[in-house]
Structure 1
Amino acid sequence: MSELTVDLQNMFSGPGLPDESQFQAWAQAAWLGQAPSEVTIRIVDIEEGQALNHQYRGKDKPTNVLSFPFEAPPGITVALAGDLVICAPVVEREAREQHKEPATHWAHMVVHGMLHLQGYDHINNEDAEAMEALEIRLLAQFGFGNPYAAEETVKDS
């Protein structure tokens, strides 16, 4: 595993976001590349999340995480993995609906997005099973349970 630099861009003004060191740790754990690289993680609101999802995926609603792998032009070698755009209100809503600790869901979105940047996908069942197994293993390093389990109980605070 090589070093990963995380450029965090927080465009969302609201409580409950993990701190920068958590984003760095989650992204680093999911960076499976052999060479050092860099990723930008942009935290956005509903409006920006919806606009980007509409522009790039043709879906006129916000989504939890969008992954934009960097594709260098021929002959150019730059150590960039790409960009992740995470819509904070969607992640927070999903965590509540799925009865998950917010940090658990945030970590899952970062790990999930990082794997997409590295070519993993879940289009067919075989690929989905491989990607999900890797996500479960990576998240377990932080003490997080299986994000695909039926429901996780939110701890009483």
Structure 2
Amino acid sequence: MAERAVLEALKQSKAKVKGAAELSILLTNDEEQRELNQQWRSKDSSTNVLSFPQIEPFDPVVGILGDITLARETLIREAAEQGVTFEAHFTHLVVHGFLHILGYDHLTDAEAEEMEGLETRILASLGVEDPYAD
């Protein structure tokens, strides 16, 4: 699922693939995710996904790209709350995390609109419903 999500995100994003690349994806537990969130973002809580880019935003895709960590218990709970499958939510958050690795963000309304629109298109091509739909 993760590989398919990443490859589709590469295909539909602005990313320029320049050679072999490596990405680490870790499905962990809430406690470890909380520790990572505290260490790297000074937030003492778990979160669904964290991205740790090793390339500059929108640089060519080559070499070590970075790491994505996902909190399994949080994903299970959120999927149930949203009425979606774990697989759909996992796929969404892998796409979301990978777009952060590539340089996309959602700090401003314009950035959020661009990133969420791209996520929605990528997910649709993977058969996952729009997570931002009301």
Provide TM-score, normalisation by structure 2: 0.87
> What is the percent sequence identity of the aligned residues?
41
- Alpha-carbon separation, structure 2, partners of 1:39 and 1:28: 11
- What's the secondary structure of 2:115's corresponding residue? helix
Aligned pairs for 1:1-157 (under 5 A) are 22-31=1-10, 32-35=15-18, 36-71=20-55, 79-150=63-134
Higher strand share: 2
Distance 1:54 1:149, change over 3 A: same
Question: Higher helix fraction: Structure 1 or Structure 2?
Answer: 2
Q: Shift in Å at residue 37 of structure 1?
A: 1.4
- How far the C-alpha of 1:27 sits from its partner, in A, is 1.4
Segments of 4+ moved more than 3 angstroms: none
| Stretches of structure 2 lacking an aligned partner (at least 5 in a row) | 57-61
Deviation at 1:33?
3.3
Flag the structure with more relative contact order, 1 or 2, with Cα contacts below 8 A and sequence separation at least 6. Answer: 2
Displacement, 1:136? Answer: 0.4
Which is greater in Rg?
1
Give the Å deviation of 1:48. Answer: 0.4
C-alpha distance in 1 between matches for 2:132 and 2:36: 26
Question: Aligned-pair distance for 1:114?
Answer: 0.3
Superposed CA RMSD: 1.4
Q: Whole-Å Cα distance in 1 between the matches of residues 97 and 26 of structure 2?
A: 12
Mind listing any 5+ residue stretches in structure 1 that lack a counterpart?
1-21, 73-77, 151-157
Matched residue count:
124
Q: What is the TM-score normalised by the length of structure 1?
A: 0.75
